[in-house]
A = this chain, B = another copy of it.
Amino acid sequence: MIGPFGGITVAVILNGILSHSERRGDPISLTVNFIGPIADAPFELKVRLVRTNRSNQHWFAELAQDSQAAATATVVLATRQDTWMMSEARTPAAPRPEEVESWSAPAKPEWLGRYDFRFIRGMLSLSDQPATDSDTLLWVRDEPRRPLDFLSLAAIGDVFFPRVFVRRQRLGVAGTVSVTTHFHADSSSLARQASRPILAAARGQRFYRGYFDQVAELWSDEGELLASSTQMVYFKD
């Protein structure tokens, strides 16, 4: 919650690579490190193709403001081939999106208005009592609706409130330092999902001496695991 929505930074960096003329394949893995505060101001994004292999491609990216590094990223793209397939992770039980009330988000920060959030559990209600865990489950989609692509999928991995706020049910200072997204979807998965809501689950595993993690999964409304994501987040008491 320091600076702009981290998901847009992630998407801007990924877009710099996916829109490059030398791009080969679709994203498999994306790690973005947040190095310093990002201002609502001009920025420069440099992308470097490290190597193209037969079936995958490796990129490095650096986003700078005022000539100072604000974020770095590594991206792996791949051309997928048909193989044996299996899904082991279990889709969380959830009511259908139309059975869950849409959240009336506050006007600020503005990015909250760019999503339709339907919380099933783990809302940040700022009640007096701390929660018994930091688990959150919700339906979420872009607002206004748009067909899902790799950019919006990567951004949605960052829509969760900081787990420490949810667990303690109080606001504080927190900011992602590193986020890794693994893509399990290909373009046919995205086309099937189209603009319908995604089932998004997140939890923290350990909060320890200034940092906690957040593990998340994003599911299609047909129960297909589209992406998983992990982050390390700085926090202050």
Is A41 on the interface with B (CB-CB < 8 A)? no
Is A207 on the interface with B (CB-CB < 8 A)? yes
Name the one of B53, B74, B83, B210 contacting A55, with C-beta atoms under 8 angstroms.
B210
Contact across chains for B58 and A28 when beta carbons are under 8 A apart: no
Is A203 on the interface with B (CB-CB < 8 A)? yes
How many subunits of this chain does the assembly comprise? 2
**Given A168-B84, A206-B184 in contact, is the A35-B60 Cβ separation under 8 Å?**
no
Task: Report A8-43 CB contacts with B as 1/0, cut-off 8 Å.
Answer: 000000000000000000001101010110000000
**Given A177-B56, A228-B230 in contact, is the A31-B74 Cβ separation under 8 Å?**
yes
Q: How far is the CA of A141 from the CA of B5 in the complex (A)?
A: 41
* Shortest distance between the CB of A49 and any CB in chain B (Å): 10
Q: Which residues of B contact A237 (CB under 8 A)?
A: 83-84
A contact residues vs B (CB 8 Å cutoff): 28-29, 31, 33, 35-36, 50-51, 53, 55-56, 58, 60, 62, 68-69, 72-74, 76, 78, 80-89, 133-134, 164, 167-168, 177-178, 180, 182, 184, 186, 203-211, 213, 215, 217, 225, 228, 230, 232, 234-237
